[in-house]
Amino acid sequence: MSTIKKGTKELILEVSLRLFSSYGYKSTTVRDIAKEVGITQSGLYNHFKNKDAILDTLISRLMNSAIVKIFEEKDIESLAQTGKSMLFSIATTFKLISFDKENEALSRLLMQELYRNSKIRDTYNEHFYQKNIKKLSSVFFLMMQKEKIKQSDPLMLANEFFAPLFFYQMQVHLLKIDNKSTSSLVTMFEKHVDYFWKNIKITQSVK
């Protein structure tokens, strides 16, 4: 079976991601990357201006991940109608990404660079946090108006839903780094949805 040979630029990104996520961005040099790829440093500079340009490209890929695009092209009204199934869809997205190797490496890189790079902090806050939190809080607010869920602070509710998903995702990554079993976390994403929904839904009284 024939295999498609990766282009040099793509190989540089692949190697850089592996080295950055394993040893840290600061500790990895252009020489390290070029050596691992099998090219000269000048050859690497034909594709990327510098190491920062490689990092920017990798982070831009993370900004196109499924988590960032959870609510893309979906209006609040239709999301509010789906209720619990919408929450399951979000949790499933987090779960799938948690066990995806490329996204795991990208997430590890992101977590490392959040403390060093203000640009990455701003991007993370806008795309991973604020954007999703605001959209979900709007959905919850509409669901409250339609008396599908209990009255509460919709923004706080959105934070309460998302926070455990990020925590479970981080736990999966930490266990995988140490080659430990992740089986205990496989069902936690769905269990979170069940528990969360049970506590916010309006139970119809039986007359």
In a domain? residue 109: yes
CA dihedral 119, 124, 130, 136 (to 10 degrees): 160
Mean pLDDT of 96-112: 81
C-alpha separations of 74 from 62, 134, 135 in Å: 20, 14, 10
In a domain? residue 112: yes
Task: Assess contact for 159 and 85: CB atoms under 8 A.
Answer: no
Q: In this structure, are 40 and 92 located in the same domain? A: no
Of 17, 8, 47, 51, residue with least CA distance to 31: 51
Q: Which of 57, 78, 96 is the last residue of a domain?
A: 57
pLDDT in tens, 45-90: 999 999 999 998 988 877 777 677 788 777 889 999 998 999 999 9
How many domains would you assign to the chain?
A: 2
Q: What CATH number does the domain containing 160 carry? A: 1.10.357
Domain span at 70: 63-200
In a domain? residue 175: yes
What integer pLDDT is reported at residue 2 of this predicted model?
Answer: 34
pLDDT in tens, 10-43: 999 999 999 998 888 889 999 999 999 999 999 9
State what percent of residues in the chain have pLDDT above 70. 95
Q: In this structure, are 79 and 133 located in the same domain? A: yes
C-alpha–C-alpha distance, residues 7 and 32, integer Å:
19
What integer pLDDT is reported at residue 204 of this predicted model?
Answer: 63
Q: In this structure, are 91 and 144 located in the same domain? A: yes
What integer pLDDT is reported at residue 51 of this predicted model?
Answer: 94
Q: In this structure, are 78 and 41 located in the same domain? A: no
Q: For the chain, what is the HEC assignment?
A: CCCCCCCHHHHHHHHHHHHHHHHCCCCCCHHHHHHHHCCCHHHHHCCCCCHHHHHHHHHHHHCCCCCCCCCCCCCHHHHHHHCHHHHHHHHHHHHHHHCCHHHHHHHHHHHHHCCCCHHHHHHHHHHHHHHHHHHHHHHHHHHHHCCCECCCCHHHHHHHHHHHHHHHHHHHHHHHHCCCCCHHHCCHHHHHHHHHHHHHECCCCCC
State what percent of residues in the chain have pLDDT above 90. 51
Q: Which two tokens stand for residue 83?
A: 């209720």
Q: What CATH number does the domain containing 16 carry? A: 1.10.10.60
Question: Is the entire prediction scored with pTM above 0.85?
Answer: no
